[in-house]
């Protein structure tokens, strides 16, 4: 067995390459043990298998395998062990109800300019994705940025035992996934599990978080936000004519003015967040700024594309009421005089608050954004359109579709007079197909 076995782990049989080790995961509707023959034929060096599945594997194949009680638990144990083998890699664990991926990407750019860094790829922020990321730590890595999601109370605590984060970051506590947690209080309790770390970075503007953090004994606390007591305080924000973020910060009492080549309403907070993390890691502001200047946005997260005849804003990866409103506010702030078309879709996992949340967005679009056209996708998206109609938009400015495939043939007509197209919904709506349609031309 190779000494660096964790770095050779693969759980997706479709992606296996020669020399890798396959860990078959058992899910609700699949069992990776069914693909063991296939991965060996592809050149896998070996595989793990669960004791209960041993009889399904021929004796000839078993000589390439490692028997374990549970393959998922084995993967998690490998991730935890491999992380413990690299104590010089300083790990930042990030959680929050929204903004995790944007902060993760921005932080990675900042840290990568200081020294070799690793980050969670895509949305691998759960009980399978986190150990897979930890298994990719190498000797040269000075930093690792691990995104940590939660569906239930205890999830962050469980992931934290694997991650052993040096710095725990709590971005916010909103209403995302309230349908699963049941209440905002339960969400706060779950997100506070990130505070296993000795050093915690958190949003000072939320008194619930501040009170909970202050109650923890022996923690080193660094804060960000607009609150007068924040260690990294946002003093003012503006957008330049070139779409740059003009940001004034107070960093431990010292005022700094930044000109950064991207803009979004949330990026002022995101920049303050990662600088606060940099402070917790002992980095200078100059060291932080090198990477922050190199950042260019994230696919699906308010990524701006300047097309020949139109600005296309790809915000299609995910959506909740807070991020939807923030995106719309940014569109209005940065592109106030543009003729805008909005394509908005369902915001999932809102439980009993779903209709109210969608109708609030429709009203906001009609009263504050004044788009040329508003197109909705999905069954809940119809609440957006109905509310916009009742709030003053005209019927010929509105259209609703059940799914994205119905929108695609009409894109040219929809955007005929548009100077800007903004696209946002929960990822399951697949509005990224609209973005791909424009970028492939």
Q: Are residues 177 and 247 in the same domain?
A: yes
Q: Are residues 417 and 311 in the same domain?
A: yes
298 pLDDT tier (thresholds 50, 70, 90):
confident
Instruction: Say what the alpha-carbon torsion angle 315, 319, 321, 327 is, to the nearest 10 degrees.
Output: -10
* pLDDT over 90 at 99, yes or no: no
Instruction: Say what the alpha-carbon torsion angle 210, 213, 216, 222 is, to the nearest 10 degrees.
Output: -110
What's the pLDDT at 325?
94
Q: Are residues 346 and 289 in the same domain?
A: no
Please report, for the domain that includes residue 24, its CATH number: 3.40.1390.10
Domain count, the chain: 3
Q: Work out the number of other CB atoms within 10 angstroms of the CB of residue 188.
A: 18
| pLDDT 10s digits, 4-37 | 899 999 999 999 999 999 999 998 888 999 999 9
Please report, for the domain that includes residue 250, its CATH number: 3.40.1190.10
Place of tokens 């197209």: 421
Out of 136-140, 222-226, 329-333, 435-439, least confident range: 329-333
Beta carbons of 404 and 434 less than 8 angstroms apart: yes
pTM score over 0.85? no
Q: Are residues 114 and 155 in the same domain?
A: yes
275 pLDDT tier (thresholds 50, 70, 90):
very high
Q: Are residues 52 and 86 in the same domain?
A: no
Beta carbons of 232 and 224 less than 8 angstroms apart: yes
Q: Are residues 328 and 434 in the same domain?
A: yes
Q: Are residues 155 and 34 in the same domain?
A: no
Decide which of 294, 316, 331 is a domain's last residue. Answer: 294
Q: Are residues 280 and 348 in the same domain?
A: no
Decide which of 265, 294, 323 is a domain's last residue. Answer: 294
Question: Which SS3 state, helix, strand or coil, does residue 280 take?
Answer: helix
Token pair of 75 as six digits: 């993967």
What span, in angstroms and rounded, lies between the C-alpha atoms of 71 and 127? Answer: 12
Please report, for the domain that includes residue 354, its CATH number: 3.90.190.20
Question: Which SS3 state, helix, strand or coil, does residue 128 take?
Answer: coil
Q: Are residues 158 and 287 in the same domain?
A: yes
Contacts 24+ apart (CB under 8 A), 150-153: 150/95, 150/177, 150/190, 150/191, 150/193, 151/126, 151/177, 151/180, 152/180, 152/181, 152/190, 153/181, 153/186, 153/189, 153/190
Question: Do the strands 46-50 and 65-68 form a parallel or antiparallel pair, or are they unpaired?
Answer: parallel
* pLDDT over 60 at 176, yes or no: no
What's the pLDDT at 150?
86
Q: Are residues 331 and 365 in the same domain?
A: yes
* Strands (E) located in 183-274: 199-203, 220-225, 232-239, 245-251, 254-260
What's the pLDDT at 242?
66
| pLDDT 10s digits, 197-206 | 999 999 999 9
Q: Which of 265, 103, 266, 96 is nearest to 174 (CA)?
A: 96
324 pLDDT tier (thresholds 50, 70, 90):
very high
Question: Which residue range forms the structural domain that includes residue 323?
Answer: 303-439
* pLDDT over 90 at 3, yes or no: no
Q: Are residues 60 and 131 in the same domain?
A: no
Decide which of 277, 294, 311 is a domain's last residue. Answer: 294
What's the pLDDT at 91?
98
What percent of the chain has a predicted confidence (pLDDT) above 90? 79
Q: Are residues 284 and 320 in the same domain?
A: no
What span, in angstroms and rounded, lies between the C-alpha atoms of 407 and 343? Answer: 9
178 pLDDT tier (thresholds 50, 70, 90):
low
Higher pLDDT: 323 or 424? It is: 424
What's the pLDDT at 261?
83
Report the first-to-last Cα separation within the chain, whole angstroms.
Answer: 49
* pLDDT over 80 at 92, yes or no: yes
Question: Which SS3 state, helix, strand or coil, does residue 37 take?
Answer: helix
């Amino acid at each position: 067995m190779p000494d660096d076995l964790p770095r050779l782990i693969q759980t997706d049989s479709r992606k296996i390459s020669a020399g890798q080790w396959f860990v078959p995961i058992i899910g609700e509707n699949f069992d990776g043990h069914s693909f063991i023959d296939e991965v060996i034929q592809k050149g896998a060096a070996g595989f793990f298998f669960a004791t209960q599945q041993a009889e399904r594997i021929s004796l000839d194949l078993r000589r390439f395998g490692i028997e374990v009680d549970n393959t998922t638990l084995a993967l998690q144990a490998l991730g935890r062990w491999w992380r413990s083998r690299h104590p010089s890699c300083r790990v930042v664990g990030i959680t929050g109800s929204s903004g995790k991926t944007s902060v993760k990407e921005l932080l990675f750019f900042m840290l990568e300019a200081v020294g070799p860094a690793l980050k969670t790829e895509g949305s691998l922020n759960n009980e399978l994705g986190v150990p897979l990321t930890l298994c990719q730590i190498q000797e040269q890595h000075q930093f690792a940025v691990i995104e940590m999601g939660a569906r239930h109370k205890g999830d962050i605590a469980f992931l934290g035992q694997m991650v052993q984060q040096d710095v725990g970051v709590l971005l916010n506590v909103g209403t995302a996934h309230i349908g699963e947690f049941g209440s905002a209080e339960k969400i706060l309790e779950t997100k506070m599990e990130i505070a296993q770390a000795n050093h915690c970075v958190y949003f000072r503007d939320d008194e619930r978080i501040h009170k909970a953090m202050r109650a923890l004994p022996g923690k080193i606390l660094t804060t960000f936000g607009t609150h007068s007591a924040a260690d990294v305080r946002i003093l003012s924000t503006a957008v330049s004519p070139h779409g740059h973020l003009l940001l004034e910060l107070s960093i431990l009492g010292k005022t700094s003015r930044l000109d950064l080549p991207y803009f979004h309403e949330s990026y002022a907070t995101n920049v303050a967040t990662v600088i606060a993390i940099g402070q917790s890691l002992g980095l200078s502001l100059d060291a932080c700024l090198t990477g922050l200047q190199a950042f260019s946005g994230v696919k699906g997260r308010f990524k701006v594309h300047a097309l020949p005849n139109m600005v296309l804003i790809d915000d299609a990866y995910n959506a909740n009421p807070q991020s939807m409103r923030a995106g719309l506010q940014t569109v209005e702030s940065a592109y106030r005089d543009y003729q805008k078309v909005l394509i908005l879709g369902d915001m999932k996992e809102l439980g009993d608050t779903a209709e109210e949340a969608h109708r609030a967005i429709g009203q906001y679009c009609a009263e504050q954004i004044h788009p040329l056209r508003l197109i909705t996708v999905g069954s809940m998206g119809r609440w957006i359109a109905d509310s916009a109609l009742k709030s003053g938009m005209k019927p010929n400015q509105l259209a609703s579709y059940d799914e994205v495939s119905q929108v695609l043939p009409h894109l040219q007509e929809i955007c005929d007079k548009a100077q800007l197209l903004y696209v946002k919904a929960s990822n399951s709506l697949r509005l990224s197909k609209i973005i791909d349609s424009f970028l492939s031309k």
